[in-house]
Structure 1
C-alpha cells in the first residue's frame, strides 16, 4: 500500500488535507507501471460489444496504443489472450467527476479509462505531468466552472478550509495554475471574459452553475442572471467550446435549455417530469448526464450495496469504502422513483443519456460514490430506470465519446485507441457482469491485476 498525493482533488472541492484526512490506496505504487506488450496482441474468443452493438467477429488485434483490426481469426504470430466466456468492451467513460491522481488510478482499476472532470485542475495545463502515464485513466476537464460570487459549490466548503497552495513552487500536483476566483462572475461582460480565460487556459469544455441551493441544504445561494448565463453560452459557442450546465432542479433545467446548453450535467430531483420539460430538452438537442448515484446520495441513499460487492470492496482503500457507505443526505424528501421515470422518459424521447457519477473526494459527507466502481452502479441504475443493458453500456462508451468529441475512443474499431475492458459473463444481457473484471488495457497497456 502506498500514500497518494491528494492535494489536487482536495483543492478542487475547496477542501484541505486537514479537513478530510490522509488517504492511501490499495494498488500500484511508483515503479509498478504496467508495460505495453511488444508486437501484436490478439484478444480472441471474445464476445465483442463495440460501443453500440454486439459484433459477429470474435477477435480484436491491438498493437502499440491502437486497435488495428477486428476480425475472426488471429494471425499465428500474435500474442494470444484467450477471452473464452468473456465480453470485451470499450474502456468506460465517466462523464462527471472531480478527480485526482488517486481518483484516476482507482477509475482504471474498474475499467474506466477516461474521466471527464466537471470542476477541477486537470485542464490541458494541469494534466501535462500525467500525459504519458498509462497507470492512470485519461482525463478531460472544464477547469473551474462559472458561478456567482458565493455561489455553488461554495456551500460544500468547510468554513475552516483554507487554501492549499502546494510547496510554493507552482500549482500542486495534477493542477493547472488557473485561479478559481476568475470564474466568479456577476455580469454578461464578466462571463464572456471568464469563458475566454477558461478557453485560453486549456479548459476542454465550459461548466456553468445554475444552482439555488434548496436541494443541497443551502437555499438562497447567489446565482448568475439569465443574461449572464446566455452570454457565457454564446461566447463558448463562438470559441467552439461545448457547454455543460449544473442543473439539479426543474427550473434550472428549463433555464439551461433556454440558454442553449449542449448538455445537462445532472437530472433534476425536486419534482416529477412533465411532457413539456421532456419536449424542451428534446428540442434543444442537449444530452443529459443523470448522475443517478449522486441523486440517490442527495436523498440519503448510500452505496453500501456496491461496497459490499466482493468485486468492489477489496479494491478500495478504507477511506473510499467509508465514503461509498456515506451520503450527502440533503434532500431526503426526494422521490427517487420519479427521477428514474424522468430518465426513462428522456431516453424514450431520444435524448442522449450519458453515464456520470459526480464522484469527488474520499469524504463520507459527499459519499455514496467511488471512482470507477460507481460507473458500474450508474449503469445498473439506468437499467433499473428501464434502459436495456446495451443502452446503459452505450451511455458509458460511444455516446459520451461522440458528444464530447473524443472520437478516438468509446468504440472497438480499427484505428481507435486500445482502451479496453474484458469482463467475465455477458453485461449486454446482465449489466452487473460489467463488474466481473478480468483485464483492462489503457492505450494498449495491459494493467496489473488487483
Structure 2
C-alpha cells in the first residue's frame, strides 16, 4: 500500500524524474524506498524545522524529503521512527589534515564529508581506501615560496617522479606555478592550496592555471599568530581579486588591514577599515573557512567543551601528547598576545562579512590546535562559530548547505530529492543550543545506516595499532 501520496498536488518541479513538459515521454518509475526516517527535519536552505518530517531513502540517494504528507513510500520499506529527534544533513568539515589512524572517527561523529587541506597524494589514496572513511575532497601538496615554514630544510622543487610523496612544493616563478598545477590537475586533486609566502606574480599564475583546469583554490595567507604580518606577500583583498575560492582562517585579513593603515594588534579596531575590507570581499566570489575554534583554543586554551563530544573517551588519550606539546607553545606571552589580536579581528569581521552576504563555511583545521578531538572537532567549531556571533542556524548552515555550495556539490549538505542520503540524527534542539549536535542517535552515509558501536570499535583498533607502531619506532 502506498501511503501519504499527494503527488498529483505537487508542482512539476517537485516530481522527481517526472515527465512534466514532455508529453511524448513515458513517466519514469521512481526507485523503491529502502528506508524511511521519521523525525523533525532541518531544512538547511531555509534554516527552519519541519516538526513532522520524513526522509525517504532509495539506494544512496534521498528519494523524497519534507513534510510527511508530501512524500510517498511503500509499507515494505523499513521505517525508523526517531520521534522528536532532529534529522540533519550529514555534516561537512572543510578544513582537515587527515591521517589514517583517526580517519574513521569522522562518520560516527556525524561528519560524512571532509575537505583535506594538505597531504601527500599517496596519503590521500590510503585515506580513501580506508574502510569507514568519510567522503573526501582534497588539495594534495601545499604550494609555497622558496622561504617557507613548510620546507624548513630548504626549497622543495617539483619532482614529477616523486609527486606522490611530496607534502609541499616550492614555486619560484610563474612557469613553476603552471607546471605544478598542471601536474596536480592530472593527478586528480579537487582543489589547489596556496600558502602565505608565495610572491604575488607566482600566486596569480597559480590561480590562473587552476582556473584553466576548473579547479578552485583555497589559500592560507597567514594571521597575526603565524606569519601573516612578517612573511606573507599576498593579502586577503588581493587573493579575492585573483579569484581564490576560500580564505582559510580568515588569512590575509590582518595584512590587508595593516596595508590600509590600521594596526591589527590595537585594542580598538577602526570600523571604517573593517567595512572597507568587508565591502571588497563581498564584491568577489571568495568564501571564508575561518576555523574559528582553532583560534579560540590558541587564545583561550581548552575553553571549548569537549567531554561531551562523540568518542571523547576513546580519542583524548591518543592526542594528549600532541596537546601537551602545543600547550607549551601557548605558554609564551607573545603567542597569547598574537592569538588575542587574531580573535579580536575575527570577532569584528565575521559578523560583518556574513551580513554582507559572504559565505562562511565550517572547518576544524585538525589537528593544528590543542584540545580539538579528531573527528568530532567540527562540533567544537560549531560552538565556536556561535560564540563568534553566528546564530545556531547559521552555524548549522555553515556545516551543511553552505559548505556544500563551497564544494560545488548540490547533492550534499541538504536533505532533498536527489541528494546523497547522508543523515545525522540528534536528540535535543541544536537551533536552541548548538551543542545538541553532539547527542547522536544515528548516522546514515550514502543511504546505509552506520553501526555506531562497530565504527567506534574500528577507530579504537586503528588508534591502538598506531600507538603500537609509534612505540616500536621509538624502541628501534
Q: What band does the TM-score fall into relative to the shorter chain?
A: 0.7 to 0.9
CA contact (8 A) 2:304 2:380 kept: no
Q: Distance in 1 between matches of 2:306 and 2:323?
A: 6
Matches of 1:382 and 1:245 in 2, distance apart? 20
* Greater fraction helix: 2
The corresponding residue for 2:283 is: 283
Q: How does 1:139-158 map to 2 (within 5 A)?
A: 139-154=136-151
Match in the other structure for 2:241: 258
Residue 147 of structure 1: how far off its partner (Å): 0.5
Report the Cα offset of residue 356 of structure 1. 0.6
Return the match for 1:48 from 38, 42, 51.
Answer: 42
Q: CA deviation at 1:61?
A: 1.1
Q: Mark the runs of 5 or more structure 1 residues left unpaired by the alignment.
A: 1-37, 160-169, 211-222
1:40-439 → structure 2 map (5 Å cutoff): 40-56=34-50, 58-71=53-66, 72=68, 75-121=74-120, 127=124, 135-154=132-151, 177-180=164-167, 183-210=169-196, 223-249=197-223, 252-268=235-251, 270=254, 271=264, 272=269, 274-299=274-299, 301-303=300-302, 305-309=304-308, 311=310, 313-320=312-319, 323=322, 327=327, 329=330, 331-333=335-337, 334-335=340-341, 336-360=343-367, 366-439=369-442
Distance 1:321 1:393, change over 3 A: farther
State the Cα RMSD in Å.
2.8
Of 194-203 and 49-58, more deviation after overlay is shown by 49-58
Tell me the secondary structure at the aligned position of residue 344 of structure 1: helix
Post-superposition shift, 1:41? 1.0
1:321–1:107 distance in 2 versus 1, CA, 3 Å: farther
- Report the more deviating stretch, 229-238 or 303-312: 303-312
Contact 2:247 2:287 in 1 (8 A): yes
Choose 1 or 2 for highest CA Rg: 2
Contact 1:398–1:411 (CA under 8 A) maintained in structure 2: yes
Q: State the partner residue of 2:24.
A: none
Secondary structure of 1:416 counterpart: coil
Report deviation, 1:60.
0.7
**Which TM-score applies when normalising by structure 2?**
0.72
Report if the CA contact (8 A) 1:143-1:178 is conserved: no
Give SS of 2:336's match: coil
Q: 1:95 to 1:315 in 2, by over 3 A?
A: same
Q: Does the aligned pair in 2 maintain the 1:67–1:417 contact within 8 Å?
A: yes
**Matched residue SS, 1:42:** strand
Contact 2:110 2:424 in 1 (8 A): yes
**Once the 2 structures are TM-superposed, how far is the Cα of residue 49 of structure 1 from its aligned partner?**
3.3
Given the superposition, is the C-alpha separation of residues 186 and 282 from structure 1 closer, same or farther in structure 2, using an over 3 Å criterion?
same
TM-superposed deviation, 1:248: 2.6
Q: State the distance in 2 between where 1:84 and 1:351 align.
A: 36
What is the distance in 2 between the residues matched to 1:305 and 1:209? 28
Question: How many Å apart are 1:185 and its aligned residue?
Answer: 0.8
* TM-aligned CA deviation for residue 243 of structure 1: 0.8
What is the number of equivalent residue pairs in this alignment?
377
Q: Which residue of 2 aligns with 1:14?
A: none
* SS of residue in 2 equivalent to 1:114: strand
- 1:5 equivalent in structure 2: none
Quick one: distance in 2 between partners of 1:51 and 1:91? 14
| Displacement after TM superposition at 1:349 (Å) | 1.1
Check the 8 A contact 1:418/1:441 in 2, yes or no: yes
Taking a change above 3 Å as real, the CA distance of residues 395 and 310 of structure 1, as seen in their structure-2 partners, is closer
Q: Which residue of 2 aligns with 1:28?
A: none
Q: Structure 2 stretches of 5 or more lacking a match? A: 1-31, 155-160, 229-233, 255-263, 454-476
